Amino acid sequence: MTTYFNKRTGDSVDMPGRSARLDSLDNWEIAEGTETPTVVTDGVLSRQAVPADTGAAAPQERESAPAAVPVDVPAGPPAKAAPKGEWQAYARARAQDSDEAAEIDGLTKDELISRYGGES
């Protein structure tokens, strides 16, 4: 029985004989005797390990809803000369509910400007 030790992760594996695959990888070495070889830190793998999920989570972790991604709302209305598509996007960002948002496609550019602003 041959025991291989991963000097970067600390893992060990018992093989029925020598493994050509593990012999060719520089992070695996054959463990000699009963002494555990030293783990070499390489920066990334030397970070603190994340504890395994035991099923019992902290209340803040599992019970809270994910944070809403803020919608990009333009600072002000587009210029009056801007294309209708820009006015529609601005109006959708300002719509108060889904009914109002559904109406936007049926409005003309002039109606969008009068309803959602357009001092520029």
Q: What per-residue confidence (pLDDT) applies to 110?
A: 93
How many residues are present in the chain?
Answer: 120
Q: What per-residue confidence (pLDDT) applies to 1?
A: 84
SS3 content of the chain, % helix, strand, coil (to 5): 30, 10, 60
> Which parts of the chain sit beneath pLDDT 70?
41-74, 118-120
pLDDT digits (tens, 9 = 90+) for 69-80: 445 656 788 888
Question: The tokens 């960002």 sit on which residue?
Answer: 93
Q: Which of 34, 29, 7 is nearest to 18 (CA)?
A: 29
Q: What per-residue confidence (pLDDT) applies to 69?
A: 46
Alpha carbon of 24 to those of 20, 27, 28, 69, 71: distances in Å? 6, 9, 8, 47, 51
Q: What per-residue confidence (pLDDT) applies to 106?
A: 92
SS3 96: coil
